[in-house]
Chains A and B, each alone.
Chain A
Amino acid sequence: MTLLLDIVTTAAILFIVSAGLLAIFGVLEIVNFAHGAWLTVGAYCAVVTGGLGLNPWLALPLAFVAGAVLGGVTERLIVRPLYARPLDAILATWGLGIVIGQLITLWFGRDVQFTENLLSGTIHVLGISYSLYRIFALAAALVIGLGFAFLLEGTRLGLSARAIIMNEPLARALGLDTTRIRLFTFMIGTGLTALAGVLLTPLTSVDPTMGVSWLIGSFMLVMVAGSSFGALAIACLVFGGAQVLVSTFISPILGGITVAVLSALVLRISSKGFARA
């Protein structure tokens, strides 16, 4: 039973970490390689909140706003001129990620930072005692997934974003403000990624390079999922499950590369990955 909960909650954490990257890739067709840096920015929002003696939960809205604002500036100044040059956008956002990491190092130093736990202790689930925080992460993933589903299916912004994904020239011809929709989408993606950074703090150490270790896994999951949040959820469940199984029964080191290796295999077999799911 513990193994089952480990699989489900690991999938939830992978989904939380990857959702912002997918939002940006799905609509803008740009891979934001500064994704890891935004996770780090979010985690340091938790550090700042703790340092100021504020309620640790305040780090969540603070990180979302900080991530969204910084994302807005990044979209306007760096990404917008590169929409027609996606490879250059990868290089530019990769470089931006390095710059953000260095700036964080300048301000906070290289040392590992500690944050106050959002939740601690255990809870009885399905007859066993299990980490309360990991169950909370599962709930957070569901909220984020349902939130995205509502945003895409139930709002005009979501409808406009879907229209741009399907046929941007037609969307422009109908008078949709594609520039503004791209900006909002980027801001939502980066805001959500920073929020994910806060949610990671009880699970990982906080240091200026913490985001890098999550970047490759997120990138591979998004490549497998295409522009579909449903496909991302499936990819997280399948690959996250494999990661837990390999870590538990073979080697934690091999478990760490399971997501990347399986994603590469799936993309080798089908270039669209799970996007058809």
Chain B
Amino acid sequence: MSDTPQSETKLALEGVTSGYGPVAIIKALSLSVRKGEIFALMGKNGMGKTTLLKTILGLVPARSGDIRLDGRSIVGAAPKVLIQSGVGYAPQEQPLFTDLSIRDNLRLAVRSDRELEAALEHVFVHFPFLRDRLTQKAGTLSGGEQKMLILSRALMLKPDLLLIDEISEGLQPTVIARIATALRAERNDRGTTILLVEQNLNFALDVADRWAVLKLGEIDDSGTAELGSRDRILDHLKI
């Protein structure tokens, strides 16, 4: 997976191993994502997809190997530093402050309140329903609305690299389509690089340029999103 020229690479992982306690979840994994690319990382439950995103963001320490963002090693960098460097993160696990308002959830994504209004306008372009519901508690939104809020929060700082963890899980096709439209727009308008962890094959292949399948912490297969990819990936995802 490290066949991309360095100059075009946004994110590169080289022999990265990480995990929890004595258990290695990610095992000597190498992967590169090009600038402006949407890359879908797929795999069954428990294969290490979320751990990989957390390792990139510094939430789970890399035990060995190197992670490079725009050619600079980011191993050991605090999440705060990476977020300020232009990395956006849409987590899957406990992703919202449900007792806070929509506005406060979004406000937490910006570094100061002076940036807030401009950042809000940016996400309202994608999800205008948020504009009239800023005072509503995040926990009272529907499942689909919550996912759109999670993505909006990740987009607040106009990130150069967006890490998204299973955003389509449990969503109606209409909501998934809105999210896909927003992701394409971010990539096409701003050149945002997106690493998308997904189990929804249709959504992933719809938006992604390239894909890889993760199996027990290692890349099991990879390719470009094209006709024929679907059956190949399905073979890996069979239980």
Contact = CB atoms under 8 A, between A and B. Distances in A.
Given A159-B107, A159-B108, A162-B100, A170 B94 contact: yes
Nearest to A155: B113
Contacts of B113: 156
Given A170-B95, A175-B83, A176-B80, A163 B100 contact: yes
Interface residues of B, number: 24
Contacts of A174: 79, 83, 89, 108-109, 153
B116 to A, nearest CB: 10
A177 B153 CA distance: 17
A171 interface: yes
A177 B97 CA distance: 17
A175 B91 CA distance: 13
Contacts of A173: 57, 59, 79, 89, 91
A213 interface: no
Interface of B: 57, 59, 79-80, 82-84, 89, 91, 93-100, 104, 107-109, 112-113, 153
Interface string A96-112: 00000000000000000
Closest 10 CB pairs of A and B: A175-B83, A175-B80, A166-B97, A177-B80, A175-B79, A163-B97, A174-B108, A172-B79, A167-B94, A173-B89
A275 to B, nearest CB: 13
Contacts of B108: 159-160, 163, 171, 174, 176
Nearest to B91: A173
A156 B89 contact: no
Size range of the chain A interface in the assembly: 10 to 19
Interface in A151-188: 156, 159-160, 162-163, 166-167, 169-177
Contacts of A175: 79-80, 82-84
Nearest to B89: A173
B73 to A, nearest CB: 19
A156 B153 CA distance: 16
A57 to B, nearest CB: 33
Contacts of A156: 107, 112-113
A170 B99 CA distance: 14
B59 A169 contact: yes
Contacts of B112: 156
A161 to B, nearest CB: 11
B9 to A, nearest CB: 23
B146 to A, nearest CB: 13
Contacts of A177: 80
B77 to A, nearest CB: 11
Contacts of A162: 97, 100
13 contacts: A156-B112, A159-B104, A159-B108, A163-B97, A169-B59, A170-B95, A172-B59, A172-B79, A173-B89, A174-B79, A174-B83, A174-B108, A175-B80
A164 to B, nearest CB: 10
A258 to B, nearest CB: 33
Nearest to B153: A174
A170 B104 CA distance: 14
A159 B112 CA distance: 12
A47 to B, nearest CB: 41
A174 B105 CA distance: 10
A227 to B, nearest CB: 12
